[in-house]
Chains A and B, each alone.
Chain A
């Protein structure tokens, strides 16, 4: 017994105990997902960073040369890239702010009690379940300068003398693509906001009613503070998605007319189509970097202010 007690105090015994305490089961359980993540996220990220420092072309991948930061310095003199930063920001803000402005009233409406609410909630998701490329084509056909229904109606009602070449105009084409994206993306935002609205206890509104608070006061003092974290989180997510968005813009404009709808994602995609994956990866890496920094700052601010207040 004495020996046992003495033995447990030796460093070797402690190590043995520690080894015994090391439970491998949790590691084994998370290993598959860890490996999967490494395969589909970590490895491609590392590969993209590596490619961004090469002159790789898909046509001669085996002969790719390491060029250091050359692609990144090239970007600083590339007007399409530099203008693309502003175009990406413009696209993000236009889509996300419009979606939010439309989704919030929809969510508030769907949170009310009315006959057929279930049907309306389900029907609202129709745009979101339509493939984005199809949505893009539908809008393209509607705004076709020669045979589109929009021109036809505007001419019939005497608003215009003749049809407008909507998609040939840089400003009009931008807002048409934004409209298509907003039409497609708003239901998801409304659905998430609706879920957030449903977490607000009904007693809060009942107490406010008793206190004589107006509808607007209830909205300002109860609804908004409760759903603000969801709104801010949605804005962050949507900004990231929109910064990376390609299909709708490409289907409708191919980034044109000219370079007017060349966001960074579209530019990187076009370069990939030209097989310049070294430079395309560099742009993707910079875009990812900007988004990561922006997200980190945003989340930090969110945690310090909004979340702290609401908790």
Chain B
């Protein structure tokens, strides 16, 4: 790649110049000041492929559009078309429907927890062979690459571009005023939430009630209590006393301590973000992508710490994201060229620095933009605690898709912690 780049810079074509200008402009906006890389397609015929990505917001959408423009301008053979006009939960549905209709795109962005289903149902083309031939493969964090297998013994299923860790945002100023230190254990966290509550103006914890993401942030705490959820031999322990105890304490913040906001049942990301930004809650579980806006609103008062633990070890849930190749793609080499491009160099920086999420490549993670963000730095410093639940379990999707209404029932006190965990265990066992 380096060789190609140096050769090309001596005689820039108009397309390459445009790529450099476009990439430079985009990165300058992100304060990076780097230059665009140039792809070297292995194929020598004109092909047209499609790429789909979801858009969390207009900036995210622009990243997809700009990165595709950078790629198209970088070479003469592969033309990518982009559709980045869908919400994250729509992306999975849209892919599955389009695949069933025989009109799937060639490359799509995916999240770790979708890939096992895709792989088992033939939607996904594994990339292990191609990845192993790539001269930049050693630059990827090995533990993240292992996660992309989804299940031990399987090939790499996609190329990770980022992995978004979820940790605890906390109001350092309020903790200091109350004479508290950031929570290390789960019990300290529960106690801190209670101590910092001054209802109705301030609550200790911004609790989420809506959608599957509501319990995603509890996964690492269950895991730190020794809960395995489901093991490959089919054993499910989500209804174990340890799991129920974690749930009960969590729900206790809403139902007993009243340290979570009263609107928790129906609150999602948008509401929780507003609560934190407006200084109505002291703690919140979320990822580093919320940090620029929170820093802008709260300055040094907002800090981050890794998830509290029940047992000895911390767990930080971090879901890798990146492009995957759809099995119906007719031009796989061309698709691979694009996948390499957007997970490398300046294109990868667009997807990570501009969203403020950590990269999963060693060289990129050392760049100042990441090292200077205290939340990303803290996450990267605890890379060994990054973890994902057993997404590869045969009934995990069943569990994840069906559990949200039961969580809302639990947060409003309509079912107990034990009933919630028993229902979850039923889903994990495939009994419901």
Query: Which of A's residues lie within 8 Å of B, judged by CB?
Result: 58-61, 144-147, 162-163, 165, 167-168, 170, 173, 253-259, 262, 273-275
- With CB as the reference atom, state the residue of chain A lying closest to B409: A258
Residue tally, chain B, CB below 8 Å to A: 35
Cβ of B263 and Cβ of A168 under 8 Å apart? yes
Cβ of A258 and Cβ of B275 under 8 Å apart? no
Q: A82 to B414, alpha carbons, bound, how many Å?
A: 19
- What are the residues of chain B within 8 A of A60 when measuring CB–CB? 121
Interface hub of A58, A145, A163, A256 (most chain B Cβ within 10 A): A256
Cβ of B405 and Cβ of A275 under 8 Å apart? no
Query: Which of B's residues lie within 8 Å of A, judged by CB?
Result: 89, 93, 96-97, 100, 117, 121, 123, 199-200, 209-211, 261-266, 271, 274-275, 278, 280, 397, 401-402, 404-406, 408-409, 411-412, 414
Minimum distance in angstroms from B187 CB to a CB of chain A: 27
- Beyond known contacts A256-B404, A258-B408: 8 more, CB 8 A cutoff: A146-B261, A146-B263, A146-B274, A165-B263, A168-B412, A253-B266, A256-B209, A274-B402
Minimum distance in angstroms from B51 CB to a CB of chain A: 21
- What are the residues of chain A within 8 A of B408 when measuring CB–CB? 256-258
Q: A256 to B412, alpha carbons, bound, how many Å?
A: 11
- What are the residues of chain A within 8 A of B402 when measuring CB–CB? 274
Minimum distance in angstroms from B110 CB to a CB of chain A: 14
- With CB as the reference atom, state the residue of chain B lying closest to A254: B210
Minimum distance in angstroms from B403 CB to a CB of chain A: 11
Q: A224 to B396, alpha carbons, bound, how many Å?
A: 58
Cβ of B93 and Cβ of A273 under 8 Å apart? yes
Minimum distance in angstroms from B9 CB to a CB of chain A: 46
- What are the residues of chain B within 8 A of A147 when measuring CB–CB? 274, 278
- What are the residues of chain A within 8 A of B200 when measuring CB–CB? 162-163
Our pick among B89, B123, B262, B401 for the contact of A145 (Cβ within 8 Å) is: B262
Q: A59-B96, A168-B264 are in contact. Are A146 and B409 (CB under 8 A)?
A: no
Chosen A-B contacts, 13 in total, with CB atoms closer than 8 Å, are A59-B96, A146-B278, A147-B274, A162-B199, A168-B263, A168-B266, A256-B405, A257-B266, A257-B408, A258-B405, A258-B414, A262-B405, A274-B401
Cβ of B96 and Cβ of A58 under 8 Å apart? yes
Cβ of A144 and Cβ of B210 under 8 Å apart? no
Minimum distance in angstroms from A145 CB to a CB of chain B: 4
- What are the residues of chain A within 8 A of B262 when measuring CB–CB? 145, 165, 168
